Structure 1
Amino acid sequence: MTTQVIVLNGGSSSGKTGISRCLQAILPQPWISLSVDDLVDALPTSVLEGTSGITFGEQGEVAVGAGFREIESAWMIGIAAMARAGARIILDDVFLSGGESQDRVRRQLEGLEVLWVGVRCDAEIAAGREIARGDRTGGMAAQQADVVHEGVTYNLEVDTAKAESLTCARTIATHVT
């Protein structure tokens, strides 16, 4: 069966977005890139400020509540519907709860051909990228570097501390059917 969804999971500033852009450039068919950042950016202030939504702590911690999970579920249903309708999707995500997060995504993508990709990056390198970006809460990259991979099963993994985004994308592309 043909790959319908590529899920890139990694911590903040691990290089997922760069890989996604490279995949869009090198894969022969058009792919839509969607990110958990797109979802967060689209949220109303009430969800960003309320305890049931998503909050970002001063040390980079991220807490999500029931209100966010409800919106996230609808988001994933929409992504799955686009893939079922024939769109090829690259999903750039951060599995804050590791394997539990993957299970939630897997349930929504059930019946689709998914390529699960772990995007790893040394915590210190990701922290440096975080500082250079200037648009992230400090500490987020270091906190997420390992925890997002705990209990997650991948088809393959890439390491952006050891290879550039394009090299990682080329590795992933060899697994897209």
Structure 2
Amino acid sequence: MIVLNGGSSSGKSSIARALQEILPGIWLTFGVDTFIDALPGGGESPRAGITFEPGGRIAFSAEHRALERSWYTGLGAMARAGAHVILDEVLLSGDAGQERIRSTFGEVDLIWVGVRCVPDVVASREAQRLDRVEGMARQQALSVHAGVVYDLEVDTTYRSTDDCARDLASQLSLDAMPR
């Protein structure tokens, strides 16, 4: 399983789609947006357990966190059953989020990839998207990487997501990749 971690509008989803096209074998892509879309109201209902605060901060209820653990458990089961998965994630709590994923996925081999982009650039990208909360991308640009240990990193500030995906594919151990 490849875990792409980066803030909102950093290019994770585009990199994931590009990796699906260039890595050998069939890879499934799931991400935090997939999970949120499955929640009541697409994450916008109070029942979803998500609170979008001023300045782009996000808070979660205990019920939401329990459901998130179930989501990760399901993805881990898919990977253990042989599915090749790219997880497009935003670790809002940095290294604590990384540890939550590690503990849930257990023996699944995880390749950690940091997707970086400077705050001014992600803020500009965010402003062009209607599905984003203003300030979220700038706030997350650096905080999601706090304490997270990566196997590989890319920076989409001045490079295309396709170029970043090609770099990642060339750095991954192709011997370990499915054919």
Which category of TM-score, normalised to the shorter sequence, fits these structures?
Answer: over 0.9
* Alignment partner, residue 8 of structure 1: 4
Q: Identity across aligned pairs (percent)?
A: 49
Q: Which runs of no fewer than 5 residues in structure 1 stay unpaired?
A: none
Q: Does 1:132 align with 2:128?
A: yes
Matches within 5 A, 1:1-177: 5-45=1-41, 48-50=44-46, 53-174=49-170, 175-176=172-173, 177=176
Q: In the TM superposition, what is the alpha-carbon distance from 1:59 to its structure 2 partner?
A: 2.5
CA offset digits 1:24-73 (Å, max 9, x no partner): 11111110000101101110149744488111124321111211101100
User: Structure 1: which amino acid aligns with 2:108?
Assistant: L
Instruction: Point out where structure 2 has 5 or more consecutive residues left out of the alignment.
Output: none
Letter in 1 for 2:116: R
Compute the TM-score of the two structures, normalised by the length of structure 2: 0.91
Runs of 4+ aligned structure 1 residues displaced above 6 Å come to none
Is the helix fraction higher in 1 or 2?
2
Tell me, yes or no, if the aligned pair for 2:37 and 2:43 is still in contact at 8 Å: no
For the 8 Å contact 1:52–1:66, the answer to whether it is kept is no
Residues 56-95 of structure 1, C-alpha deviation per residue, up to 9 Å, x if partnerless?
Answer: 1243211112111011000000000000111000000000
Taking only aligned residues, the RMSD between alpha carbons, in angstroms, comes to 1.6
- Matched residue pairs, number? 173
AA at the equivalent of 1:70 = A
